[in-house]
Amino acid sequence: MIIVTGAAGFIGSNLVRGLNRAGERDILAVDDLSDGRKFENLVDCGIADYWDKDALLERLNGSPGFVPRCIYHQGACTDTTEWDGRYMMENNFRYSTVLFDYCRAAGVPLIYASSAAVYGAGDCFEEDAGTERPLNVYGYSKLLFDRYVRRRLGAVQSQVAGLRYFNVYGPGESRKGPMASVAWHLHNQVRQDGEARLFEGSGGYAAGEQSRDFVYVDDVVDVNLWFGRHAEVSGIFNVGTGRAATFNQLADVVIGWHGSGRKRYIPFPEELRRAYQSFTRADIAKLRRAGYDRPFADVSAGVKAYLDRLDGYDSKRSGHGR
């Protein structure tokens, strides 16, 4: 059996569907459905069982006869504006260490989600301790677990792969609220109001010229599945396109897809000034050296594919297209 934590979430549910496409159905989905509306992400997923996230740790440690083939650990609090450090560290760090210790003892491959948030406001995004300066407690919780893994990698016989996701977008993120991708928010703004709202200049960047490495969720899933097929590869790796696109460029793709709309620049929120990444671009040299050689979709191709899929989903629900 394969375990996917965070299975009802954005990336987790896409990963389950990716495993399904690869012929996997013996999947244990793990999540916290306190917000029961997240069930929608699991409806079209082929799974064998579902466990609550708290039950997972108890059952893994209390059932010595049950040994999964692999654990894809995607579950976490991903709200970068959450400042409850106790909550964040318990969910993102402590929970992950218990999973890691179990996998090390049982010899189970662990492929887990880290984050580009560990790099903070720097301009170098190489997987190196000298580049890691998180701006918020979310980024710190991810970094602390990466450090926990690094200190123990030499003593682990089974695979441990940490994947530092950059700015992921794609189907299944509608329940993420403010933490949904820029592409999702701009799409809804243009659809509802005819305008894409971007931040004015900040951090030395002109209006809308803040840049991110936007990566399509299908590519993120493909990287996860590649590691699942290559249990000999361990370490911490960036997962992004290796390119940065401006928010202006992203808005232009969204407006072009809609066929109309305009950009409007709004004041930069004061509360974000000390905790905002104005620029990210994954250094994917280590991932390439490990053997992953597939191309990543650029913003133009990825966002168009995303909006086409959203349009198809909305059309099925409403009975008509755009």
Q: What tokens were used for 104?
A: 């090390």
Gap between the Cα atoms of 280 and 204, Å rounded: 14
Maximum Cα–Cα distance for the chain, whole Å? 59
How does strand 110-115 pair with strand 195-199?
Answer: unpaired
CB distance 180 to 11 below 8 Å: no
Catalytic residues: 138, 176
Pairing mode, if any, of strands 211-212 and 245-246? antiparallel
Q: Please return the burial class of 37, using the count of CB atoms within 10 Å of its CB with bins 0-12, 13-18 and 19+.
A: exposed
The DSSP letter of residue 279 is B
Residue of 193, 299, 301 lying closest to 243 (CA atoms): 299
Q: Compute the distance between CA of residue 168 and CA of residue 164 in angstroms, rounded to an integer.
A: 11
For 197, the 3-state DSSP assignment is: strand
Three-class secondary structure of residue 38 per DSSP: helix
Rounded (10°) angle between helices 182-193 and 299-318 = 50
Quick check: 136 and 275 in contact, CB under 8 A?
yes
Residue 174: which residues within 8 A CB-CB, separation 6 or more? 180, 184
| Tokens representing residue 175 in the block | 């329940």
Alpha helices in the chain (DSSP H): 10-21, 53-62, 85-88, 95-106, 137-152, 182-193, 217-229, 247-258, 285-290, 299-318
